[in-house]
Structure 1
Amino acid sequence: MDEETPRVELTPRAAELLCRLRTEHGPLMFHQSGGCCDGSAPMCYPDGEFRTGGSDVLLAELAVEGVPEPVTFWMSRSQYEAWSHTRLIVDVVPGRGSGFSLEAPEGVRFLTRSRVVDA
């Protein structure tokens, strides 16, 4: 993947929801799990609430209009190895996701779509 291809991007709906969540919860982060707690959905937390470490990869620092600081996007290293050939697109869909993710009370959930990119 070339350096100009973003590893992670947001749909307009996802960016709008992040702006609202930032107003309510402060700085934010995502962590895409490898199957626990809601499949492999991206989970949104207050920044620093989910502990990351050597088994995680920082894929992106997402700029969101109306949000003063970037929203970081982390993924477990093992899952990254399987998805390293893709660009991830974070979207919002109706339905309830995990109770751990900040959007759960909104009646929507974040969802990751992916596109294969050239190596």
Structure 2
Amino acid sequence: MTNSPTPDQPRVIATDAALAFLAEIREDHPDILFHQSGGCCDGSTPMCYPASEYRVGETDVKLGEIGGVPFYISGSQYAVWAHTQLIIDVVPGRGGMFSLDNGRERRFLTRSRLFDGGEACPLPLARG
């Protein structure tokens, strides 16, 4: 079954476990943001930073918000992932070295699913 196109289709969502972990991190760091890693080894790692310590780039795309926290991806990564919905989850392990999930014995992980049929609507490249 193909879903009808909708401009409200979320590009990024989170599991209940990820939302609970995010709330835990926000107790220590209330103003944060996510940026989807594009590194060769950590391509499935969404990095979580204090908002005041991360500069959103001119070509970064804001995919949406999870738990009230903005979620960005680089323009080049967005071009590759444009037909997918990102699903932020939590797994055991260490977070990225500079990510706020590091040292908590759990880390965020990006899973994805392809949009089907015309379900996704274009998202322009735009800051914040």
Q: CA RMSD in A?
A: 1.5
Pair member with larger Rg: 2
Quick one: which of 23, 30, 53 aligns to 1:26?
Answer: 30
Question: Which residue is 2:42 aligned to?
Answer: 38
Question: Which residue is 2:74 aligned to?
Answer: 76
**Identity among equivalent pairs (%):** 53
Residue 39 and residue 116 in structure 1: after superposition, are their counterparts in 2 closer, same or farther (change >3 A)? Answer: closer
Q: Which 4+ runs in 1 deviate beyond 2 A?
A: 36-40
Tell me, what secondary structure is at the counterpart of 1:104? coil
More strand by share: 1
Question: Which residue is 2:100 aligned to?
Answer: 102
Following superposition, the deviation at residue 37 of structure 1 comes to: 7.0
Question: Which residue is 2:125 aligned to?
Answer: none
> Number of matched residues?
113
Partners of 2:48 and 2:12 lie apart in 1 by: 14
Greater relative CO (CA pairs within 8 A, separation 6+): 2
Gapped regions of structure 2 (runs ≥ 5) = 119-128
Residues 50-98 of structure 1, C-alpha deviations (whole Å, 9 max, x = no match): 1112121111023x2xxxxx20000000000000000000000001131
Kept after mapping to 1: 8 A contact 2:95/2:103 = no
Q: Normalising to structure 1: TM-score of the pair?
A: 0.87
Partner amino acid for 1:99? M
Partner amino acid for 1:96? R
